[in-house]
Amino acid sequence: MNELFEYWQLLLVPVFFAMGWAAARVDMRQVVHESRALPRSYFKGLNFLLNEQPDKAIDSFLEVAKVDSQTVELHFALGNLFRRRGETERAIRMHQNLLDLPDVEDKHRLQAMVELGQDFLKAGLLDRAEDIFNKLLGTAREADAKRSLLEIYQLGKEWLKAVEIAREMPDVASHKEIAEFYCELAAGEIMRSRHDSARQYLDVAMQENRKCVRAAMLLGDLHQQAGRSEEAIAAWQAIEQQDPAYLSLVAQRLLDAYRKLDRRGEGIALLRGYLEHYPSIDLLEVVYQLVLESEGNEAAYRLVRGELQRNPTLVGLERLMSARLPLASPEMRGDLELGKTIVQGYTRRLSRYRCNNCGFKARQFYWRCPACGGWETSPPRRSEEFDQSL
């Protein structure tokens, strides 16, 4: 019985081979038929691309579109390629050509508008991009248009428009982001000394996000600008309940406020307490300068040495060497200076804030990442601290 089954298997082999050969013949005929249906300009364009002649390739592919509008996917692919490479003029030309075709399907026309708007956005032509996306409102691509309009309003610092459209997209824009928009409005009003409107914007920001640290910081700035140092200190101290990691960003503000009130000792005690409970390179720098001014080199050195033992960092080591230099003998100062110079070469790269989303690094702290556009994506810690916590 087993032998009979094996014979049947052998008989099936040529049958399957014949079926595969027939299918291949059908596929080959289809490929040949389709290739003959394509215009010569299509193959000329491919040849130009292979020979790294993109300008001539574009001209050839544009001829294809004039002959056969079914090749629109090719144009979308090329247009997006040019945009990613930063060749926005070519991308605009590609997508604009699609819009000019009389027989393009509606779905392709809408897609061409979306892509053209993205081209204008990438090129920094915000007004033209906004015009394109406004025309897409009420169409099947409205969601794409609103997302792009939100980005345009943030780039153009049109924060009230950003708030309006963000409220229409709760799945895209969170309460945290809306609170940041109101903080941007409040910051502008504080710069213009418009305290009443600034306070109103900050109140709305806190309603959107009770843990909005930036709103608390700006509220303290508002009080300080108005000469109300006590209220400013209270606003900044409230950050400990929201997120104590951000206390390092207001340490210098707190110190200045206590100085104005002639209560430096109280300020020193508060900041040293923060440093003990929430260690930070930035906080250490402020406390170090404060202790150096009020208690001298020996006390500043002890402070940094103790902090370095608790939280060893190269940035802290550099500060320790700076604190040790005035106390060192003449024979040791040369070696300390050399060591400090070497360590500084490394700490310049480590003393940066880093975005959790994209890895962008900067010496100053940004509430919105300049690279990826994320809000509050950079922890208020330097790169060295960030790496140690992983």
Asked if 194 and 254 sit in the same domain, the reply is no
What is the per-residue pLDDT for 200? 97
Among residues 69, 70, 46, the alpha carbon closest in space to that of 58 is found at 46
Q: How far is CA 215 from the centre of its chain?
A: 20
> Do 71 and 64 touch, CB atoms closer than 8 A?
yes
Please report, as a single letter, which amino acid is at residue 253. R
Q: What is the pLDDT of residue 15?
A: 41
Residue 31 maps to a domain: no
- Give the highest mean pLDDT range of 98-107, 241-250, 262-271, 372-381: 241-250
Q: How many Cβ atoms from other residues are within 10 Å of residue 7's Cβ?
A: 9
Query: How far is residue 62's CA from residue 42's CA, in Å, rounded to a whole number?
Result: 9
Lowest mean pLDDT among 20-24, 79-83, 117-121, 259-263: 20-24
Strand partners, 375: 368
Kindly state whether residue 3 falls inside one of the protein's structural domains.
no
- Domain membership of residue 126 (yes or no) is no
Percent of the chain at pLDDT above 70?
73
Same domain, 278 and 184: no
Number of domains the chain contains:
3
Q: Is 137 helix (H, G, I), strand (E, B) or coil?
A: coil
Residues 362 and 384 in one domain: yes
Residues linked to residue 361 through DSSP beta bridges, in sequence order: 354
Tens of pLDDT along 200-219?
Answer: 999 999 999 999 999 999 99
Q: Is residue 206 part of a domain?
A: yes
Point out the annotated binding site for Fe cation. Answer: 355, 358, 369, 372
- Domain membership flag for residue 370: yes
Residues 6+ apart with CB under 8 A from 331: none
Residues 312 and 322 in one domain: yes
What's at 107, amino acid-wise?
K
- What pLDDT is stored for residue 177 in this prediction? 95
> Average of pLDDT values for 25-50?
53
Structural domain contains residue 169: no
- Shared domain for 345 and 359, answered yes or no, is no
CATH classification of the domain holding 335: 1.25.40
Q: Name the most confidently modeled range: 187-191, 331-335, 381-385.
A: 187-191
Question: What's the CA angle centered on 92, arms 86 and 93, to 5 degrees?
Answer: 120
> Do 187 and 268 sit in the same domain of this protein?
no
Query: Which tens digit of pLDDT belongs to each residue from 291-349?
Result: 888 788 888 778 778 777 777 776 767 776 776 677 667 767 766 676 667 666 666 66
- Same domain? For 324 and 251 the reply is yes
The answer to whether residue 312 sits within a structural domain is yes
Q: Do 383 and 313 have their domain in common?
A: no
CA triplet 85, 91, 93: central angle to 5 degrees? 150
Those residues whose C-beta lies under 8 Å from the C-beta of residue 189, and which sit 6 or more positions away, are 195, 197, 198, 201
Kindly state whether residues 226 and 269 are assigned to the same domain: no
pLDDT tens profile 172-182: 888 999 999 99
Q: For residues 228 and 374, give the distance between their C-alpha atoms in angstroms, rounded to a whole number.
A: 33
Instruction: Provide the residue range defining the domain that includes 326.
Output: 243-351
CATH number for 208: 1.25.40.10
Give me the pLDDT at residue 41, please.
63
**Same domain membership, residue 264 and residue 319:** yes
Distances in Å between the Cα of 20 and the Cα atoms of 16, 34, 313 are 6, 21, 68
Please identify which residue in the block is written with the tokens 């900044």. Answer: 236
- Do residue 210 and residue 222 come from a single domain? yes
Q: Do the Cβ atoms of 176 and 209 come closer than 8 Å?
A: yes
**Average pLDDT, rounded, for the chain:** 80
Last residue of a domain, one of 205, 238, 271: 238
Q: Both 255 and 346 in a single domain?
A: yes
Average pLDDT over residues 106-126: 93
